Every structure is written in C-alpha cells, then in structure tokens.
Amino acid sequence: MSVAGGAYTWLPCEVKPGPFSDERLVRVASEFGDWVGFVPVSSLEGKAGESLIRALIVEVQGDRFLARIPGESLSSTLSMHALSCPKPVDPIEGGRT
C-alpha cells in the first residue's frame, strides 16, 4: 500500500477521560516515541474493541511517516511511525467513515 502526504489515516491509540466532556486524553504509541495529548471526541473511532484516532500524514521519509494528530499535544505536535509497523496503516478519504 502506498502512503503519501496529505492523506488521512487511522492510528491505534489508548483513550482516557479528558477534563471536558468533548475531549479525551490520548496516547499514540510508536517505536519512535509516544504522542500524548488532548483530542476532540470527533477525531476518535472505536472498532472491535480498539480505539483509533484520525491523523493527517504530513510527510513520508523513507520507511517512516510523520502524522499530525488533532488536538493539543503535551510534547510534540507530530508523531513518527514506521511504514512497516505491525498494524497496517489504513488511509481514509477526507471525512469520517
């Protein structure tokens, strides 16, 4: 599968309650470092007992890609992931499915 900048993808994440009813505390794990922040509930999906967050692929760098996760990060605004990660990246078109 081809991954390109400008595409959206679903990334697996851990979700906990946030300080407000319309946001959640989310952790996106990656072998390059975790992304942790507060995200809008509208950016999350739940499928088969797994939580996913919609992210924008900003740039592809060889066998890695940078993704922008919506919300307020506690550290970095971008999250790096391997193209060969164990869970395949599933690009989606524009809106939520």
The one-digit pLDDT tens for each residue of the chain (97 residues) are 567 788 888 899 999 999 999 999 999 999 888 999 999 999 999 877 789 998 888 998 888 999 999 999 988 878 888 886 544 455 554 444 4
Tokens coding 13: 């994440």
For the chain, the structural domain boundaries read 8-87
For residue 63, count other CB atoms closer than 10 A to its CB.
9
pTM of the entire predicted model: 0.80
Instruction: Give the separation between CA 43 and CA 27, rounded to whole angstroms.
Output: 13
